[in-house]
Homo-oligomer: A and B are copies of this chain.
């Protein structure tokens, strides 16, 4: 039943889908259930309440949609905007590109702000566009919090500030797919109108649940938004929320129990500790990359991502060969370079349910692969750099002190 089985664990370091913790796998190991019995609504109620915490919102309304991140995007856009609406959107890598493509195909008038891949969103241009837009033709600012293709984290607080500076009423729509539950995310504080993530990212679940959270302003916008939508329509959800049965169509029972378990683990560890763990692993990864003498695709420290690091390889090496080698020789799964950076970068995902020694195993593997493909790395150098940092900065596991 396994395709291409290799001995030992697969070392899963793509930036999604990520490792599922054993307690979550266990929680999902179950038969189907009637979702119209009292049990499923009772559990759903706790989920809707608790999932707000990962967005740091109290006023937002969450939707747990049986879809992927792409569907979550579509839900965010079609519920709040009408065809022809102008959006400002930042093109900084493959996932922002795909979201922009979606916006265009959904019929919006997308004002694309492009940066080099490896840079963050150009917020100066945003400021100037907002400044000019006294007529408020811009209906939404769409931004990817963490661009998974290049390992770039955008500064959302700054976006908010710019919007506020110009008292601009545009909706603030955020793709938090590879950030939420890993990087600090403050929906209410930052005035985000729609935030979204996918279950297979830092929540460490299987793929299949798009989690979208809408501010009261976004809910209000949904009442007049003219984009055609049915499956993704919040209205249907809200109707069943009011009925107390919660589901307009059949949810995945397994993902609901899985989400319950995933949230329980996150809260048990403490969200702030989870963020700190990601910061620690991200920093350790970057130190290793530096020790190998390689460049981070991310061009400035302010954009460094604590969930994924895109490593630039020398021109004489094909980064895809590094990924292939990892899988074929060391049972290691790394992320490919995508589109513009295909062949040029490989990616180490360090998000979700992960700890220090898992990362160090991965880094050791990368070193050997680099050598395999002819890069003159000093074996052990990256691990040494990462260890030096981690040995000083890793706290005792809270439950075991």
Residues of A within 8 A of B (CB): 1-12, 14, 16-23, 25-40, 42-43, 66-71, 73-74, 83, 101-102, 105-107, 198, 200, 206-208, 227-233, 248-255, 257, 260-261, 265, 268-269, 274, 277, 327-333, 335-336, 353-362, 364-365, 367-368, 371-372, 378-381, 383-388, 390-391, 394-397, 399-401
Contact = CB atoms under 8 A, between A and B. Distances in A.
B30 A5 contact: no
B38 A10 contact: no
B31 A22 contact: yes
A331 B355 contact: yes
Given A105-B229, A328-B396, 17 more contacts: A5-B23, A8-B21, A20-B32, A25-B30, A26-B27, A26-B30, A66-B71, A68-B250, A105-B228, A107-B228, A200-B252, A207-B250, A227-B228, A329-B394, A330-B355, A332-B357, A379-B387
- Shortest 10 CB-CB distances between A and B: which pairs? A380-B384, A8-B355, A361-B361, A17-B32, A360-B364, A34-B333, A3-B39, A357-B361, A6-B397, A368-B391
B8 A36 contact: no
Contact of A7 (B20, B39, B200, B354): B354
B31 A19 contact: yes
Contacts of A386: 364
A183 B297 CA distance: 45
A325 to B, nearest CB: 9
16 contacts: A1-B1, A1-B26, A1-B27, A4-B38, A7-B354, A18-B32, A36-B335, A38-B400, A70-B231, A73-B231, A200-B252, A207-B252, A360-B383, A361-B361, A368-B391, A379-B391
A372 B391 contact: yes
A169 B322 CA distance: 52
A281 to B, nearest CB: 9
A14 B247 CA distance: 16
A371 B245 CA distance: 28
Contacts of A400: 4, 6, 38, 327-328
A277 B394 CA distance: 32
Contacts of A248: 70
B105 A230 contact: yes
Given A22-B30, A32-B17, A327-B400, A68 B68 contact: no
A12 B36 contact: no
Contact of A354 (B8, B198, B381, B394): B8
B29 A2 contact: no
B70 A230 contact: yes
Contacts of A254: 28, 206, 254
Given A68-B66, A358-B9, A367-B387, A37 B327 contact: yes
B255 A208 contact: yes
Contact of A228 (B106, B253, B381): B106
B387 A384 contact: no
Given A3-B43, A254-B206, A356 B330 contact: yes
Contact of A355 (B9, B14, B19, B25): B9
B361 A399 contact: no
